[in-house]
Amino acid sequence: MSLSSGGWTNHTAGLTPDQSAALPHHYGASQSQLGCLTVLMSVRVSVCHSGIRPLCLPGAGDESLRLQLSMDPGKSGEFRLSLQDSSGTGRSVTIAEYDLRTVKYEVKSPKCHELSLAAPPHDRISFNFRCEQEAQEWATVVMSSLREAHRVTPQDNGTQSPLDGLHLQNTSALQQTEETCIELTRAIEAGDMQSASVFAATLARQHAALKIQPSARDCEDTEIHLAVVVEDSSSSCCVTVKVFPHMTTAVLKQQMFLEYGFHPRVQRWVIGQCLCTDQRSLASYGVRQDGDTAFLYLLSARHARLTLQALQQDQESALLLGPPSLSLPTPPLLPTSANGPASQDRKPYTTLPPRLNTSSNTGGSDRGNISEIRDLINLEMPQLNEALTPNTTSSQGWPCPSCTYINKPTRPGCEICSTNRPENYVIPGGYRPDALELRRIQQEKEAIRQYQQAKEEERRENFARLVMLDGQDLVPNPEPVDCKICYVELQSGEGVLLRECLHCFCRECLRSVIMLSEEPEVPCPYRDDTYACSCSLQEREIRALVPAEEYERWLQRGLSVAESRCEGSYHCATPDCPGWCVYEDTVNVFHCPVCKKHNCLICKYIHEGMNCKQYQDDLAARAINDSAARRTTHLLKTLVQSGEAMHCPQCGIIVQKRDGCDWLRCTVCHTEICWVTRGPRWGPGGPGDTSGGCRCNVNNQKCHPKCQNCH
């Protein structure tokens, strides 16, 4: 049989009339006409066993035989399997040719396959391949073609059938139905209710089977990141999947099958508390922006009635077809038999490139698209070959120290038991990962990137939350708690969480603690039998808890306590003036910022316009008639008698040591004085003259046993 423009015709090539007459009908030789068939694959084989007469002839066991698989691009499911002899004349002579639907194909061993006829007398042909890789590639293509051939119902390719008129009538009716659907779509888009009802009634009278769904152009085509929580009966995890809002649930199932290996029949999606159906889009469930969440629940294979054979077949089909289309619904992946027709209750998945949309009278365009089909096959088949061909470099890899499984060199952990890769293992320099390993590495990098991005986002959110809380004077309690003082139950936000110790109290109790506290620092009131909190309330917390006048009194109380407890403090001599300071030895005058008076820190009085001697002389003169002056004079004498003050040895005014070492300087005559000896510090020659004065540190001896560094 060979294919001509009119169909399959019988003729024998390369055989005598006697030999041709001796062959059965389905064993006749054929030669395909150029431009009609597309050769999918061709391999050299040697026949090792055959019950067919021409293949029992001498020389049939040589490698001059060639198996060839071809298809008719204009007829879906039309495949031809031929056995050709290329020895002798230099031309390929077809020994036998079969319709792929009439044979059964079985793999006996890695290099030996068997072909048998489905119809009696069930003759068999066994042949050997040159290498295992070539045999497996051939088996993959033949098995996929067998499923495609059985999927499509065989049609009569001979002369015109009497039913052609009925077919033309059905075609015309289908054309009218499609035109009515187009008009209905336009009427709905235009808002023409009357026209839309007319077209809808027409379709209803025809009992037309329709599928109505919103147009994808109304949805945003921006890719978003969908957070998917995956759960099964024993575990759960979270992954991020890139999707489009107008994708249907069926397309999403197919995508998860390609990326993670979850078969569509075991997937159950829940989005927005709704169990998703395959026909609806993700946008209809509220998936429109990055970070939206979906839940994927995985059934067991037994519950989904999924067999291992069906899973393997669907994986091969998915690799052949590539990623699913986003604009068209994807049919479910269902298993089919390689040697028989598909079951009646479910439709199998397509395994070869789609049929060209050409009619029988456009032969030129058919021939023009043959190269496109061949390009599609050449693009798809290497991916399948890489996935299904056994790795010849399987010795490369590291054995798991726990389960002894041989892992790929680039895997960081065991694929079976997750044990870490040995630290001393070095990846071979010439190793190149296969397609599956490259995809795993890319997914691992993407997962690390997503983890780092999520961690950075969490860090920013925490920082923003801390900044927001830092801007608040009081931190409310985030959850219900009991006040540790009055034991009243506080709902969220009713209590105050102290910043330093995180103890929580009600506002009334904290306000009472502040008003009753006599210390400038209000301690945390938390106490129990074993622990007393040592932290204090912050100033802004106190300001937010008490009224403004009470807050001012708390500030004044703190200042008063600080003044009384601070060494070197001096209060302004002006009556009722609250000003005070902490002075140093080198400072003799305090300029009060409250009353603007100048306080002498030596005399401890205010004598503006006079020095200390003039003030003391004036004070002595006024002491006769002024009782206040007499009291001041008496106070100065008391200080001199008690040793807290002394007369300057040069000018005679009263000077007082405030603090520090025993070195003083008179504010009037600027004489340097030794406080412990009550005399001048130097001799008549001034500073550095040790012939007089206290002679401290001369011959390494102190001027007085109680001297505190007068020099």
Q: Tell me, what's the pLDDT at 267?
A: 94
Its pTM stands at: 0.30
Give the residue from 255, 360, 283, 285 showing the smallest Cα distance to 3. 360
Question: What are the pLDDT digits (tens) for 153-168?
Answer: 554 444 444 455 555 6
Least confident of 15-24, 412-421, 653-662: 15-24
Residue 701 and residue 656: Cα distance in Å, rounded?
26
Average of per-residue pLDDT across 304-312: 88
Residue 142 and residue 397: Cα distance in Å, rounded?
32
Question: What are the pLDDT digits (tens) for 694-709?
Answer: 778 777 777 777 777 6
Of the chain, the percentage scoring pLDDT greater than 70 comes to 76
Q: Do residues 278 and 242 touch, judged by C-beta distance below 8 A? A: no
648 a catalytic residue: no
> Bigger pLDDT: 479 or 683?
479
> Bigger pLDDT: 65 or 216?
65
Mean of the per-residue pLDDT values of the chain? 76
Angle at 71 between CA 70 and CA 76, to 5 degrees: 160
Residue type for position 173: A
Residue 557 and residue 546: Cα distance in Å, rounded?
15
- 350 confidence band (pLDDT: 50, 70, 90): very low
Q: Tell me, what's the pLDDT at 617?
A: 77
Both tokens assigned to 439: 């995809």
Question: What are the pLDDT digits (tens) for 51-62?
Answer: 554 554 444 455
Catalytic residue among 661, 669, 696, 710: 661
Other CB atoms within a 10 A radius of the CB of residue 610 amount to: 14
Give the DSSP per-residue string, 408-476. -TT-SB-TTT-PBPPTT----TT----HHHHHHHHHHHHHHHHHHHHHHHHHHHHHHHHHHHHT-SSEE
**Element housing 614 (H / E):** helix 612-622
> Bigger pLDDT: 612 or 121?
612
Average of per-residue pLDDT across 201-223: 76
Q: Do residues 247 and 223 touch, judged by C-beta distance below 8 A? A: no
510's torsion region: left (phi>0), alpha (psi -120 to 50) or beta?
alpha
Q: Tell me, what's the pLDDT at 459?
A: 93
Q: Is 509 exposed, middle or buried (0-12, 13-18, 19+ CB in 10 A)?
A: middle
Average of per-residue pLDDT across 542-562: 85
Residue 172 and residue 167: Cα distance in Å, rounded?
9
- 216 confidence band (pLDDT: 50, 70, 90): low
Least confident of 291-300, 354-363, 464-473, 612-621: 354-363
- 605 confidence band (pLDDT: 50, 70, 90): confident
Angle at 220 between CA 219 and CA 224, to 5 degrees: 125
Both tokens assigned to 414: 């065991």
> Bigger pLDDT: 463 or 222?
463
